[in-house]
Amino acid sequence: MVQRTRMLSAVADTEALGRELAEELKAGDLVVLDGPLGAGKTALTRGIAAGLGVQGRVSSPTFIIARQHRAGERGVPLVHVDAYRLGGDLDELDALDLDTDLQDAVVVVEWGLGVVEHLADRHLRVRLSREPESDVRTAVWEWIAGTAEA
Ligand SMILES: Nc1ncnc2c1ncn2[C@@H]1O[C@H](COP(=O)(O)OP(=O)(O)OP(=O)(O)O)[C@@H](O)[C@H]1O
Ligand SMILES: [Mg+2]
C-alpha cells in the first residue's frame, strides 16, 4: 500500500498528523507506533485522541500498560496501549481485561511492532524517527495487510 512520509518540525506538527490520521480511523482499527524513546509516539496518540474527540488526557501508559478513553462526538473510544513492558508476548489484548470491546474501539499501541499485528487483518503502521538533540521528527506511515514484517 502507499507509504507516506512527513517531516515534523515541532511537537504541534506531530499532534496535527495524529488528528489527520484520526480521520481515516474507524472502530476496530489498529495503529502500531514504532520509534525510539522520545520519538513522539505519545504525542501522535494525543493528536489521534483529539481527532477522535475522545475523553480524558492522553499520557504515557507505561506503568499501566493500557488506558481507555471514552468515546466523544465521533462515537469511537480509544484504547492506548504501551507494549514496552509486555515483553513482546501479547497473544490477546483481551488478556488486558479492558472494559472496552476492541472491535468497537480504535486501538493505538506504542512499541507494538512485531507484537500486536496478528490481532487485526490490517493495521496502520507509523514509524517515527529522530535526530539527536533536535525537535525534528520524521514520520513514515502506511496501511499494512496481514502481519507482514518490515
Ligand atoms: N517534532 C516533535 N514531535 C514529537 N515530539 C517532539 C517533537 N519535538 C520535540 N518533541 C518532544 O519530544 C518528546 C516526545 O515524547 P513522547 O512521550 O511523545 O515520545 P514517545 O515516543 O511516546 O516516548 P516513549 O518511548 O518514552 O513512550 C516530548 O517531550 C515532546 O515535547
Ligand atoms: Mg510514549
Ligand nearest to the CA of residue 60, numbered in listed order: 2
- Which of 64, 94, 97, 95 lies closest to 81, judged by CA? 64
Residue 34 Cα to ligand 1 midpoint, Å, equals 12
Pairwise pLDDT comparison (42 vs 115), residue with the higher score:
42
User: Does the C-beta of 112 come closer than 6 Å to ligand 1?
Assistant: no
The tens digit of pLDDT for each residue in 10-23 reads: 999 999 999 999 99
Q: What's residue 82's pLDDT?
A: 87
Q: What's residue 5's pLDDT?
A: 98
Instruction: Give percent of the chain above pLDDT 70.
Output: 87
Residue 10 Cα to ligand 1 midpoint, Å, equals 10
**For 80-94, what is the mean pLDDT?**
70
Mean pLDDT of the chain: 89
Residue whose Cα lies nearest atom 16 of ligand 1: it is 40
Q: What's residue 150's pLDDT?
A: 46
- The set of residues, in sequence order, having a beta carbon less than 8 Å from that of 139 and lying 6+ positions away, is 5, 6, 8, 14, 17, 44, 126, 127, 128
pLDDT at 139 over 60: yes
pLDDT at 88 over 80: no
Highest mean pLDDT among 77-81, 100-104, 135-139: 135-139
CB contact burial 71-88 (16+ within 10 A = b; e otherwise): bbebebbbbbbbbbebee
The tens digit of pLDDT for each residue in 105-126 reads: 999 999 888 888 888 889 999 9
Q: What's residue 11's pLDDT?
A: 98
| Mutate which of 42, 108, 140, 141 for ligand 1 pocket (most atoms within 8 A of beta carbon) | 42
